[in-house]
């Protein structure tokens, strides 16, 4: 059976990032890999920009830094700061389009 490669993407505030955010990537990867139909090749964490204006939102720079520290030892989960650097809130579909072109 041929397997398809996939990339997991999580958009959100990550205010702050937690162990459970990272665990969800592991659970999703295990699930897809166990089907035999898919091979997860990368996980991407995409924190929202400050323009999201959620009450109590830590600055995007700090959230990105925390996420990068949390994933520094991962060989497959990384942080993309494109969404967090936008001057306005970005719909998830636009992040997906950006990520698919980049990957």
How buried is residue 101: exposed, middle or buried, by Cβ count under 10 Å (0-12/13-18/19+)? Answer: exposed
CATH of the domain at 46: 3.40.50.620
Q: With 70 as the cut, is the pLDDT of residue 63 above it? A: yes
- If you average pLDDT over residues 55-65, what whole number do you get? 97
pTM for the whole structure: 0.92
Q: What is the pLDDT of residue 103?
A: 63
What distance in Å separates the CA atoms of residue 8 and residue 44, rounded to the nearest whole number? 6
Q: How far apart are CA 26 and CA 6, in angstroms?
A: 14
Domain count, the chain: 1
Instruction: State the residue range of the domain holding 21.
Output: 4-102
Mean pLDDT, to the nearest integer, of 44-70?
Answer: 96
The position carrying tokens 């997860």 is 40
Q: What is the pLDDT at residue 100? A: 76
pLDDT category of residue 101 using cuts at 50, 70 and 90: confident
**Which pLDDT belongs to residue 1?**
67
């Amino acid at each position: 059976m041929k397997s398809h490669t996939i990339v997991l993407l999580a958009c959100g505030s990550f205010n702050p990032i937690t162990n459970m955010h990272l665990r969800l990537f592991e659970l999703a990867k295990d699930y897809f890999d166990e089907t035999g139909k898919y091979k997860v090749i990368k996980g991407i964490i995409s924190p929202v920009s400050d323009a999201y204006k959620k009450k109590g939102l830590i600055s995007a720079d700090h959230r990105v830094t925390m996420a990068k520290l949390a994933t520094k030892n991962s060989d497959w989960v990384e942080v993309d700061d494109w969404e967090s650097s936008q001057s306005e809130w970005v719909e998830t579909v636009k992040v997906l389009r950006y990520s698919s072109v980049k990957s």
